[in-house]
Amino acid sequence: MTAPLASLLIVEDDPEIRRLLADFLQREGFEVECADSGKAMDAVLQRMRPDLLVLDLMLPGEDGLSICRRLRADDNIPILMLTAKSDEIDRVVGLEMGADDYLTKPFAPRELLARVRAILRRVKAAPAKLPVRRYAFDRFVIDLDSRSIQFGDASDDSLQLTSAEFDLLGCFVLRPRRVLTRDQILDWTRGRSAEPFDRTVDMLISRLRKKLDAASPGSGLITTVRNGGYLFTPSVKQVS
């Protein structure tokens, strides 16, 4: 018997679509597992690690964006996101959350197959080393992995931030010169634990502003956009 090309986990709540995808991909030589929710997915992941996750955006309970963000926090399983939505913002948010590719329903099975194979080829060809997550802006250098931030000319001058303040700054650093709404900030920093009208983001931004301004007076790194949200103003570059 020929060994399967790769193992796939399909997370899709529509039973007919789930069955059709599973049957098609199995015929193409893949080992396929299925789940109908984030909870069911977690149960599958307890006993196997797939080579690729085919993840629907609209799921009961925890949605696909939240699942993607959660998985990316401590895993690098390749993710192909599926959705019935065609708005560009949904595609962009999905990719920013860490999805490797994005496919809008309805789609031809052959297109899905091509996307799956392309992702698996990229993963196989990719170097094993982890990407550097150090960024420079204004007078600061932030390391998202060691959760540290230095400023000024002396390498031992560190900025002391709370965990929530660091997460907030990290959110801005990864999305510079872009207006972020309060809801987006809450989702990217706190996810599903955020309350719908949680105003703590305003308090956190106020505290973070004061600390950044104290270290770099007059820099104005975070500005308020009326009826829009908040904007991180400096240019940001990745450093080694």
pLDDT, tens only, 116-141: 999 998 878 755 555 678 999 999 99
pLDDT of residue 26: 95
Q: pLDDT-derived band of residue 221, with 50, 70 and 90 as boundaries?
A: very high
For residues 149-168, average pLDDT: 79
Provide the residue type at 84 as one letter: A
> What digits encode the pLDDT tens for the residues 7-64?
999 999 999 999 999 999 999 999 999 999 999 999 999 888 999 999 998 899 998 8
CA–CA gap between residue 189 and residue 201 (Å, rounded) = 10
pLDDT of residue 30: 95
User: Taking a C-beta distance cutoff of 8 angstroms, is the pair 64, 83 a contact?
Assistant: yes
Q: Report which of residues 192 and 177 the model is more confident about.
A: 177
pTM over 0.75: no
52: which 2 tokens? 């690729």
> What digits encode the pLDDT tens for the residues 86-114?
655 556 666 667 788 888 888 899 999 99
171: which 2 tokens? 């959110």
Query: In the predicted model, is pLDDT for residue 191 greater than 90?
Result: no
Count CB neighbours of 27 within 10 A: 10
Chain centre distance of CA 4:
29
pLDDT of residue 193: 44
Residue 229: left (phi > 0), alpha (psi -120 to 50), or beta?
left
Q: Report which of residues 76 and 172 the model is more confident about.
A: 172
pLDDT of residue 131: 63
Query: In the predicted model, is pLDDT for residue 177 greater than 90?
Result: yes
Query: Cβ contacts of residue 58 below 8 Å, gap of 6+?
Result: 13, 64, 83, 84, 85
Beta bridge partners of residue 52, listed in sequence order:
8
User: Taking a C-beta distance cutoff of 8 angstroms, is the pair 33, 62 a contact?
Assistant: no
169: which 2 tokens? 């700054």
5: which 2 tokens? 């090309």
> What digits encode the pLDDT tens for the residues 66-93?
898 888 777 788 999 998 766 555 566 6
For residues 137-146, average pLDDT: 91
CA–CA gap between residue 222 and residue 213 (Å, rounded) = 10
CA–CA gap between residue 230 and residue 177 (Å, rounded) = 10
